[in-house]
Structure 1
Amino acid sequence: MKPKFLIRDETAADIGAIRDVTAAAFQTMAYSRHTEQYIIEELRAANALAVSLVAERDGRLVGHIAFSPVTVSDDSQGWYGLGPVSVLPAYQHQCIGKALVEEGLARLKTAGAQGCCLVGHPEYYVKFGFRNMPELVCEGVPPEYFFVLPLGGEAAQGTVTFHEAFSAEGPG
């Protein structure tokens, strides 16, 4: 059965809707600092959105995912961070987030990425192959919330640093 939504690259016309979708998706999340929409805006302003996809349903933007380069202390190249990923609350549990993650990872693989990492919910990301790897850490993040997915070549080792946009506090 064909999904009832379309996954595509973001366009300039989507920027406001991406901000709204992201804010709405994280509004009730207790673990959120409610800055995810500002993180995306700062990644975009820094030209650090390596992959930025939207999910559209019935002409309405209902989801978004961002991937940006990360730095690994062992100088491994081609590693990316996944996040934020957002789906409007009324559209959650309809496989939209899953489709965004799968399409984004496929695009990273096609582009020759070596790996992807994220900070996220332990039960959700393992179904995509992400796992905790003690040889790759993110300072300040409990290991059970930091996940890694090698995509090719040798796995990196050391400390991952996400783009400085992840410390965004509010509007630019």
Structure 2
Amino acid sequence: MLIRSEMPADHDAIHELTWTAFKPMAYSDDTEADIIRALRADGDLAISLVAEDDGEIVGHVAFSPVTIDGVHDNWFGLGPISVKPGRQRQGIGKALIAAGLKLLDERGASGCALIGNPDVYGHAGFVSDGQLTYLGVDTKYVQRLVLRGLVPRGTLRFARAFGS
């Protein structure tokens, strides 16, 4: 499996993969694939990686700028992340997250935040201590990983494409 940056020829495959991966999820509002297109169009797709296996894109992860209490401070959000059904739980998502976090660190990012299941993202080093909030979501789902600097406190906002 090869993890690489997206190329323009990948855009439709990423859209289809994301739509397919999120379709059966009860928590999905069916906007995830469109969010990636909007992030790209807005210039907010800071990192977009694909996992390719035998020429097929089987996974994708996006990272985009976030603000905490209205300040960017070199923080990024993880997501959406998707893995092809039938290929999930094989370490593809974990590998995509690790590669993306490595790139963020190499670029001098302060950290990364996400909304998600602590049992899933805790293995990648994400934690929730209640210091970050997001639109009334239970703070146990609002997680962060500090790469450098201080632990953030405040209200998390994602890029405009997320509609938050």
Which TM bucket (shorter chain)?
Answer: over 0.9
**TM-score when normalising by structure 2:** 0.96
Instruction: Specify the alignment match of 1:90 in structure 2.
Output: 86
1:48 CA displacement: 0.3
1:76 CA displacement: 5.3
Aligned partner of 2:16 among 13, 16, 20: 20
**TM-score when normalising by structure 1:** 0.92
1:146 CA displacement: 1.0
Q: Does 1:134 align with 2:106?
A: no
> Is the Cα contact below 8 Å between 1:51 and 1:66 reproduced in 2?
yes
Matching residue's letter, 2:26: A
1:133 CA displacement: 2.3
Matching residue's letter, 1:49: L
Identity of aligned residues (%): 49
> Is the Cα contact below 8 Å between 2:132 and 2:139 reproduced in 1?
no
Instruction: Specify the alignment match of 2:32 in structure 1.
Output: 36
> Is the Cα contact below 8 Å between 2:3 and 2:96 reproduced in 1?
yes
Matching residue's letter, 1:115: G
Aligned partner of 1:159 among 155, 158, 164: 155
Q: Does 1:106 align with 2:102?
A: yes
Q: Does 1:65 align with 2:24?
A: no
Matching residue's letter, 1:7: I
- Structure 1 segments (4+ residues) deviating >4 Å: none
Instruction: Specify the alignment match of 2:75 in structure 1.
Output: 79
Alpha-carbon RMSD: 1.3
Q: Distance in 2 between matches of 1:100 and 1:130?
A: 15
Q: Does 1:56 align with 2:52?
A: yes
